[in-house]
Amino acid sequence: MERTLSIIKPDAVSRHITGKVNAMIEDAGLKIVAQKLIRLTQAQAEEFYEEHKEKAFFGGLVEYMTSAPIVVQVLEGENAVAEYRKIMGATNPAVAEEGTIRKTFALSITQNSVHGSDSPESARREISFFFSQIEIVS
Ligand code: ATP
Ligand code: MG
C-alpha cells in the first residue's frame, strides 16, 4: 500500500466538479483516506511549489493556485503515486490520453484540474505539508 497527495485545483473546484473527479479516482480503485477544502496563501503556494521557483511559469502557477479554494486529499492504493499519475494524464491536457482526468476536465496546461505527487518521497513531503497524522484514516 502506498499513499499520494492529490490536489483538485481551482478550475475544477470552481466548476463544482470535485465529485466527478472523486468518482474517477474511486472508479480507478484508489481510496480517499483524507480530504479537505482550503485556500492557499501566496507563501504556502510558493513553498509547496518551491522545486519550480526558477521556472518561467512559477509566478503564474502561484497566482493561479491562490486564486480560489482547492481540495487537498490523500489517496491510498497499490502503487498509488504512479497509478494516480496515470489516471490524471499528461500535464498538458492537449496531449493527455482519452479517459484521463486532465483530458476530460482540464482547461489548459496551467488550469489542469489536478495535481499528484511525482514520487513516493514527494508524496511524503506533500502529505505532511497539508495533513497531520490524526487527519488521515488508517
Ligand atoms: P502536478 O505537479 O500539478 O501534478 P505535473 O507533475 O504534471 O503536475 P509539473 O512539471 O510538476 O507538472 O508542473 C506543476 C504544475 O505547473 C503543472 O501541473 C501545471 O499546472 C504548471 N505548469 C507546468 N508546466 C507549465 C508550463 N509550461 N506552462 C504553464 N504552466 C505549467
Ligand atoms: Mg509535479
pLDDT tens digits, one per residue of 34-73: 999 999 999 999 999 999 999 999 999 999 999 999 999 9
Across the chain, the runs of DSSP E, i.e. the strands, are 2-8, 31-38, 70-77, 114-116
Pairing of strands 31-38, 114-116: unpaired
User: What protein residues have CB closer than 5 angstroms to ion ligand 2?
Assistant: 118
Which residue among 3, 96, 115, 131 is the active-site one?
115
Q: Is 52 a catalytic residue?
A: no
Q: Is the CB of 122 under 6 A from ligand 1?
A: no
pLDDT, tens digit (0-9, with 9 covering 90-100), for 7-38 = 999 999 999 999 999 999 999 999 999 999 99
Q: What pLDDT, on a 0 to 100 scale, did the predictor assign at position 20?
A: 98
Spatial separation of the C-alpha atoms in residues 21 and 13, rounded to whole Å = 10
Spatial separation of the C-alpha atoms in residues 48 and 30, rounded to whole Å = 23
Q: Which of 50, 51, 58, 61 most suits a substitution to test ligand 1, by most atoms within 8 Å of the C-beta?
A: 61
pLDDT, tens digit (0-9, with 9 covering 90-100), for 70-104 = 999 999 999 999 999 999 999 999 999 999 999 99
pTM for the structure as a whole: 0.97
Q: Which atom belonging to ligand 1 lies closest to the Cα atom of 51?
A: 11
Q: Residues 118-124: what's their mean pLDDT? A: 98
Q: For the residues of 39-52, what is the DSSP string, one character each?
A: ---HHHHHHHTGGG
Spatial separation of the C-alpha atoms in residues 71 and 20, rounded to whole Å = 13
Spatial separation of the C-alpha atoms in residues 21 and 48, rounded to whole Å = 22
